[in-house]
Amino acid sequence: MLRPTSLFALAIATLAAQSATAREGLAQQQPPIGARSAPVLTVDGLRFRDLDRNGHLDAYEDWRLPAARRAKDLVRRMTIAEKAGMMMHAVNSGYFGPGGTVLEDLAPPPPGALKSPVNVAGVPGFDRADKPSPRDLIVNRHVRYIMTSPGGSPADAARWANSLQSMAEGTRLGIPIVFSADPIHTTNRLPGGALPPPDRVKITSSWPDMIGLAAARDPELVHRFGEVASQELRAMGFRMILNPMADVTTEPRWNRIPGTFGEDAKLAGEYAAQFVLGAQGEHLGPDGIMAVVKHFPGDGPVRDGLDPHNPYGKHLAYPGKRQKLHYEAFAPSFRANVAFAMGSYGIPTGTDDVATNFSRKIMTDLLRTKMHFKGVAITDWMHAMPWGLEDKPKIERERRMIWAGIDQLGGEHETSYIIDLVKQGEVREKRIELSVRRILEPMFAMGLFENPYVDPEAAAHIVKAPEYVAEGALAQRKAIVLLKNAEQVLPLKQGETVALEGFGAAPAALAGRVRDAASADVIVVKVNAPYADNTTGQAFFVRTHEGTPVFAGADNADELAMIQKAVATGKPVVVVMSMERPAVLSEFIDTVAGMIATFGSDDAALADVLTGSFNPSGKLPFALPADAASVEGQAEDVPFDFARTAFPYGFGLSYPPRKN
């Protein structure tokens, strides 16, 4: 597989230079030291950051010691307010200024920006407008895990991260920051599954959705994707990615299938672990980033396909009694020493009557005792979706999460509740310290306490490097599945012209071959899988693609009309469907000559398949149902459970060899 060339190998080496300190007990080689305000101590000819500025080397500052010992030493020096800050995983965006400067006040949203509801209907205590400044988070609230997205250029993102790291270095103990990111290398769908505007420019290399990597059927490719994501994110200052999803796709109406590895639990678990190993490495160190496997014990079996982000989709359902199949898909990631595990929003029906992050049966008895998970347990954004505890105040929800076994609260920055719980004797401080040690240990392992800074010039070379772009482009082509090719309508023959319906613009590979439908030889129609588009406001995510697997009655039923109009011309028609969920194709499949399924591939990749520049090799990552009744009758937790299947799991055609 492709690897970085010498043109920017030196830049990558800058990020990886600390890797000699990655494994506990073996760190004797001097790592790079990055200090902007803290003094640097020299002991035995070696250099160390004096983060607390007391003039001597403390255990937590000594990179020669194991991460666990350093974490234990630091925890004993921390106040309860500082410990509470470590248990927050805040969201911070909008504070990017020109050139990567840090804004003190929140910038207004650009015209036409996506707007999310301020409150989930009926759920108190959640306000998306509450966005403290970076200084407030870091200095006043002692928060050190911050989820954000890169602003401006890669170099700008690196400068912004460095500025905040400098701010953190200047605090009492000099504890650095972990910047985390949602997946940004794939199609980057909007909340609920909708595709982003076609003119959105991706800052990183571009890869297919995770479901597309499953269609490519190449575990080494998934591992490599983890490596590339790690290298590009680290260059911009990120040290954590909220990925992968080990959820198994057993409910075809669910809106989050693009982020999964499909219907086969064994493959989904293996591929999630490969991503973890690519992102973190065999042992988490300076040349890796932390991964977060989610959403334990598996978000795939959602009742009626309705996502538990939303009040009407609170429940995980197990009518087939296959809960074990879902939670065991996480085991390979645990064996790969994934740093964090995120719990589901859903209520695990039959196990508990509260959402998983409030459930000790799930987050302690199952996750830690039975599954032997040793890392950090983090919630999803639970105060927004406190299913089972909607009528309880936030302080009681946080007590329940800590009691359940949670270490870090996703989407939170208000530390007063944990502080009050300790002061009131509701939570023992030793319990808080256990979580804080778990949270700190991977930070020490990654070398953040020695050098949290990144090189903006290196970021400009590493992020979206030509080699990474080429690897992502190849992955997009491998992710395309050819479902039908009657009379070898594809690939397009030399000299054949094509009409494009449903495309934003003609791909460059088809330049000169595009005609209107009346004069073209072949018509290619691009559509989305059928969906119901939630616009009620009774949801955390609106515009969510869920529900119906057929075009009849779907909110995008006009796309079936577009297919039918093309068929009526009498010309050969090829349908290209963005297969974000298993769709019923019976409304049109017998009337068209060709059918292609895509899973996060762009039009350039599609054009290469249409013209034969790339021979399709992808395989379906889930079965396709023959009719809506098969979808409605299947058990939410059981894979391969359609009464009638149109295309089986693993189906995929290729072009025959070209004749000389």
Q: What local confidence, expressed as pLDDT, does residue 19 receive?
A: 44
16 or 244: which leads in pLDDT: 244
Q: Cα(172)–Cα(641) distance, rounded to whole angstroms? A: 58
Residue in the block written with tokens 């990615």: 241
Q: Cα(476)–Cα(53) distance, rounded to whole angstroms? A: 50
Please name which of 276, 244, 277, 278 lies closest in space to residue 261, comparing C-alpha atoms.
Answer: 244
Q: What local confidence, expressed as pLDDT, does residue 660 receive?
A: 56
Contacts of 559 (CB under 8 A, 6+ apart): 502, 527, 528, 551
Q: Which of 491-500, 532-541, 607-616 has the lowest mean pLDDT?
A: 532-541
Q: Cα(451)–Cα(161) distance, rounded to whole angstroms? A: 13
pLDDT in tens, 143-164: 999 999 888 899 999 999 999 9
Q: Which of 192-206, 340-354, 391-405 has the lowest mean pLDDT?
A: 192-206
Q: What local confidence, expressed as pLDDT, does residue 123 receive?
A: 39
Query: Using N-to-C axis directions, what is the helix angle for 67-77 and 429-445, rounded to 10°?
Result: 130
Residue of 247, 287, 299, 380 with catalytic role? 380
pLDDT in tens, 52-90: 999 999 999 999 999 999 999 999 999 999 999 999 999
pLDDT in tens, 272-328: 999 999 999 999 999 999 999 999 999 999 999 998 888 888 999 999 999 999 999
Q: What local confidence, expressed as pLDDT, does residue 122 receive?
A: 40
Question: b/e per residue, 544-572, with b = 16+ CB within 10 A?
Answer: bbbbbbbbeebbbeebbebbbebbeeebb
pLDDT over 50 (residue 5): no
Q: What local confidence, expressed as pLDDT, does residue 539 receive?
A: 60
- How many other C-beta atoms can be found within 10 angstroms of the C-beta atom of residue 108? 8
Q: What local confidence, expressed as pLDDT, does residue 541 receive?
A: 63
Q: Cα(84)–Cα(143) distance, rounded to whole angstroms? A: 8
Q: How would residue 247 be classed by pLDDT, with cut points 50, 70 and 90? A: very high
Q: How would residue 544 be classed by pLDDT, with cut points 50, 70 and 90? A: confident
Q: Domains in the chain, start-ordered, CATH in brackets?
A: 9-84+130-467 (3.20.20.300), 480-647 (3.40.50.1700)
pLDDT over 50 (residue 120): no
Q: Tell me whether residue 73 is one of the annotated catalytic residues.
A: no
Q: What local confidence, expressed as pLDDT, does residue 3 receive?
A: 43
Q: Cα(522)–Cα(540) distance, rounded to whole angstroms? A: 42
Tell how strand 46-49 and strand 40-43 pair up. Answer: antiparallel
pLDDT above 90 as % of the chain: 82
pLDDT over 80 (residue 2): no
pLDDT over 80 (residue 11): no
- How many other C-beta atoms can be found within 10 angstroms of the C-beta atom of residue 442? 25
479 or 660: which leads in pLDDT: 479
Q: Cα(10)–Cα(8) distance, rounded to whole angstroms? A: 5
Q: What local confidence, expressed as pLDDT, does residue 380 receive?
A: 87
Token pair for 96: 């990017």
Residue of 52, 209, 218, 264 with catalytic role? 264
Please name which of 352, 267, 341 lies closest in space to residue 316, comparing C-alpha atoms.
Answer: 352
Q: Cα(302)–Cα(318) distance, rounded to whole angstroms? A: 9
Q: Tell me whether residue 380 is one of the annotated catalytic residues.
A: yes
Q: Cα(441)–Cα(54) distance, rounded to whole angstroms? A: 23
Tell how strand 624-625 and strand 645-647 pair up. Answer: antiparallel
Q: What local confidence, expressed as pLDDT, does residue 126 receive?
A: 39
Tell how strand 409-410 and strand 498-501 pair up. Answer: unpaired
Please name which of 177, 198, 196 lies closest in space to residue 188, comparing C-alpha atoms.
Answer: 196
Per the DSSP assignment, residues forming a β-bridge with 371 are none
- The mean of the pLDDT values for the chain is 90
Threshold 0.75, pTM exceeds: yes
pLDDT over 70 (residue 198): no
